[in-house]
């Protein structure tokens, strides 16, 4: 598989214009959006990951096999970010989701240890209200023991069926690819 970074930008006029379908990765700061992209393409350093929440501030486009884009969106909900730039992010994400006609599917990523947070539920409702198809991912599942995992997945199921995922063990990569492939019939 060939995965290449194409562009990082917060200006809609600079989004790719070749019309390929896009898979969006959404979630709170630090849940592991960039790590998930790296795990899916099997390239550790492709999407920039960090211990510092709020690292991905622009919308980053990765072209996959010349067939589709993985779109790494800025995380939301990080308390230390100033209010002004929080609004800017929200506006940027909302603009992308609302206006992007090539958006084909979204992954809403939750930290399995925390489950649904208020902003995640807001986003879920927003996606549903606009008939955007999406999958929910329970990330960092490696950090839970069996009992915690069962409880976590059960709690997440209250609102949607999650795909368990770990960037450390690779668990869930196959299922997530299946979801993407099914959507695009590559
Ligand atoms: N144990 C474990 N750690 C993970 C996993 N996924 C990500 N991490 C770690 O969590 C931290 C944040 O990961 P990122 O992929 O940068 O998260 P992000 O959602 O892209 O963060 P922002 O771009 O800041 O919104 C990093 O230290 C990763 O190594 C996982 O599945 N398991
Ligand atoms: Mg990131």
For residue 35, with 0-12 CB atoms within 10 Å meaning exposed, 13-18 middle and 19 or more buried, which class applies? buried
Q: Whose CA is nearest to atom 23 of ligand 1?
A: 56
User: Using one digit for the tens of pLDDT, what is the confidence trace for 105-143?
Assistant: 999 999 999 999 999 999 999 999 999 999 999 999 999
| Alpha carbons 65 and 82: distance in angstroms, whole number | 38
Q: Check: CB of residue 75 under 8 Å from CB of residue 100.
A: no
Domain count, the chain: 1
**Cα-to-chain-centroid distance, residue 35:** 10
**Domain span at residue 34?**
3-184
Which is the closest atom of ligand 1 to the Cα of 48? Answer: 16
Bridge-partner residues for 59, per DSSP? 9
User: What pTM did the predictor assign?
Assistant: 0.94
Give the CATH number, domain containing residue 79: 3.40.50.300
Which is the closest atom of ligand 1 to the Cα of 49? Answer: 16
Q: In the Cβ-directed half-sphere of 106, how many Cα atoms lie within 13 Å?
A: 25
User: Using one digit for the tens of pLDDT, what is the confidence trace for 54-76?
Assistant: 666 789 999 999 999 999 998 88
- Split at pLDDT 50, 70, 90, the class of 89 is confident
Give the DSSP letter of residue 144: S
Can you tell me whether residue 184 is helix, strand or coil?
helix
Q: Whose CA is nearest to atom 3 of ligand 1?
A: 140
| Alpha carbons 31 and 34: distance in angstroms, whole number | 9
Give the DSSP letter of residue 186: -
């Amino acid at each position: 598989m060939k995965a290449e970074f194409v562009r990082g930008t917060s200006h809609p006029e600079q989004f790719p214009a070749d019309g390929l379908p896009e898979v969006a990765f959404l979630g709170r700061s630090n849940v592991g959006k960039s790590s998930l992209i790296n795990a899916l393409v099997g390239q550790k350093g492709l999407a920039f990951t960090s211990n510092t929440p709020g690292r991905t501030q622009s919308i980053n486009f990765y072209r996959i096999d010349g067939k589709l884009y993985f779109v790494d969106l800025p995380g939301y909900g990080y308390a230390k970010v100033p209010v002004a730039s929080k609004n800017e992010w929200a506006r940027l994400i909302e603009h992308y989701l609302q206006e992007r006609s090539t958006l084909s599917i979204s992954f809403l990523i939750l930290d399995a240890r925390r489950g649904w947070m208020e902003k995640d539920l807001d986003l879920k409702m927003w996606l549903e209200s606009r008939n955007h198809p999406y999958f929910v991912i329970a990330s960092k599942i490696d950090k839970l023991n069996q009992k915690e995992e069962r409880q976590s997945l059960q709690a997440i199921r209250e609102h949607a069926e999650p795909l368990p995922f770990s960037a450390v063990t690779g668990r869930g990569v196959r299922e997530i690819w299946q979801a993407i492939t099914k959507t695009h019939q590559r």
